[in-house]
Amino acid sequence: MTGASSTGGRGGPRPARRRVGEALSAAIAPLAACSVALAGLTVWTASGAAGSPPRIAAGNGRVFLPYGNSRDTAAFFEVTNIGGGEDRLTKVTSPSDSVGRTMLSRHESSGRGADTMRMTESVRVPAGATLAMSPFDVSVMTRMNSRWRAGEVVPFVLHFRHSAPVEVLAVVVRPGS
């Protein structure tokens, strides 16, 4: 009897070992998943992208000299995001009295020769990329309040969802130049 009680009866220690083995087997999958996730996060952090906010720079500003008596025209900028997170250009303003209302717009082609401009609330500026505005994609529609001459410089301020506003100058140019 003493031998039976010390081994826990029939197969005494074996069920306890089986339970320990099953518990270890059940723990291996979550431990492996955590290890893989930790390794991925370590690589991502070491590359400098983890938690890196957008970092915006802008330049190469141009604004078209309007035709004839029209006061409406378009401005274009190169907006570069050297940060690790994407941002959105939400509006463009100007501290100059020579600039009236401004609106972000996107060129749309119907494919049948009738292109249109559609106003848009914001424009994506991907991480590590440059948004190069042009008459064939994204632009800033604006109205001049006073006459400009080719070569003049007009100040603008680009506003973003996550980044601080960026001041940029645009040179007045003739379309096609």
77 and 119 inside one domain: yes
Spell out, as residue ranges, where the chain has pLDDT lower than 50. 1, 3-6
Q: What is the pTM of this model?
A: 0.70
pLDDT of residue 38: 74
Evaluate whether residue 133 is within a structural domain.
yes
Q: What is the DSSP letter of 114?
A: -
> Could you give the number of structural domains in the chain?
2
Residue 42 lies in a domain: yes
Nearest by Cα to 90 from 164, 144, 172, 171: 164
Instruction: Please give the pLDDT value at position 47.
Output: 62
pLDDT in tens, 80-92: 999 989 999 999 9
DSSP classification of residue 45 = H
Phi first, then psi: what are they for 164, rounded to 5°? Answer: -70, 155
Q: Are residues 108 and 64 in the same domain?
A: yes
Residue 73 amino acid letter? T
67 inside domain: yes
Same domain, 168 and 137: yes
Residue 51 is assigned to a structural domain of this protein: no
Instruction: Give the C-alpha separation, 81 to 87, whole Å.
Output: 8
Q: What is the pLDDT of residue 133?
A: 96
Range of the domain at 28: 2-46
Instruction: Check whether residue 92 and residue 152 sit in a common domain.
Output: yes
pLDDT at position 45, please? 64
